A and B are shown apart, each in its own frame.
Chain A
Amino acid sequence: MSGVSSAAYFARRVAQKERVRILYRRALKDTLNWAVHRHIFYRDASDLREKFNANQDVEDVDRIDKLIAHGEAEYDKWRHPDPYIVPWAPGGSKFCRNPTPPAGIEIVYNYGQEDNP
C-alpha cells in the first residue's frame, strides 16, 4: 500500500521536475528574447534563477503543483510576441522554404526537343 503510494509519489515528483525543467528552459529563452543585450540578459537570468532556487526545497506535492502552475501562468503572461527562432526550425523564416522534392521526380534536360524532335 505504502509502496504503491510512494511509487506514485515519486512518479509525480519526477513529472514535476520535468515540468520545472521545461518551464525554466522556456522562461530562459523568453528572457533572452526580451533582453537582447547580453549584460541585461545575464541580470534577468540570474533573477529568474533566484526565483526558481527560492522554491527548490518545497516537499509538499500539492504546493509544488501550485507553484508550477503559477510559474507557467507568469510565463504565458510574459511570452514575447516575436521570439527569435533559428531560421530552419519550425516557426523560423526558412522553415519549409525549399523542401526536398519528392523522390522519382527529375528534370529532363532536353532543351526543347519535345517540340522539335
Chain B
Amino acid sequence: MALRTAVLRHLRVPVTGSNQSQIGFLGSIRAFSSHDDHLSKQEVVDRVLDVVKCFPKVDPAKVTPDVHFQKDLGLDSLDTVEIVMAIEEEFKLEIPDKEAEKVDSCPLAIEYVFNHPMSS
C-alpha cells in the first residue's frame, strides 16, 4: 500500500495541451443558452449553394462554393441582385444596398452570411 502511493507519487502524467485548447473554445458556448443559433460554416455553404442551385437561370451542375455569378455562371447583374435577395430571404438578413452591391460571387456571399451576427 505504501509502495503503491510511493510509486504514484513519483509518476507524473503529462497534461495534454490539445484538450485544454478545445475546452477553451467550448467555454464560449454556454449550455442551454438561447443564443445557440450561430450557423456553422458548412451549413451556410450548403444553404447558399441550395439557393443558387434553385435559381431557374442557373445550371445546378456548375455551382461550387467558389463560383462567380457573372463570370462563371453567366448571369446578369440583375440576376445577381435577385440571388442576393434570395439569400437575404433564406437567412433572414437585411443587407444594406451598398453591401449588396459588393456581393458578387459565392465565396463573398458565404463569407458575408457567416460573419453576420444575425444570420439564422
Given the known inter-chain contacts A17-B77, A49-B78, please indicate yes or no for A29 contacting B85, CB distance below 8 A: yes
> 1/0 per residue B85-112: CB within 8 Å of A?
1000000111001001100000000000
> 1/0 per residue A23-67: CB within 8 Å of B?
011101100000000000000010001001100000000000000
User: Is B51 at the interface (CB under 8 A from chain A)?
Assistant: no
Asked if B81 contacts A21 (CB within 8 A), the reply is yes
Select which of B77, B81, B93 is within 8 A of A86 by beta carbon: B93
CB distance from B101 to the nearest CB of A (A): 6
Asked if A22 contacts B78 (CB within 8 A), the reply is no
Given the known inter-chain contacts A18-B101, A21-B101, please indicate yes or no for A28 contacting B92, CB distance below 8 A: no
Q: With A and B bound together, what is the CA distance between A86 and B118 in angstroms?
A: 10
* Interface majority SS (helix, strand, loop, mixed), chain B: helix
Most buried by B among A21, A85, A92: A21
Asked if A25 contacts B118 (CB within 8 A), the reply is no
| Residues of chain A contacted by B85 (CB below 8 angstroms) | 25, 28-29
Q: With A and B bound together, what is the CA distance between A22 and B81 in angstroms?
A: 8
Chain A: CB-nearest residue to B89: A32
* Interface majority SS (helix, strand, loop, mixed), chain A: helix
Asked if B97 contacts A25 (CB within 8 A), the reply is yes
| Residues of chain B contacted by A20 (CB below 8 angstroms) | 77-78
Q: Could you list which residues of chain B lie within 8 angstroms of chain A, going by C-beta atoms? A: 77-78, 80-82, 84-85, 92-94, 97, 100-101, 118
9 example contacts (A-B, Cβ-Cβ < 8 A) are as follows A22-B101, A24-B78, A25-B100, A29-B85, A49-B78, A53-B78, A85-B94, A86-B92, A86-B93
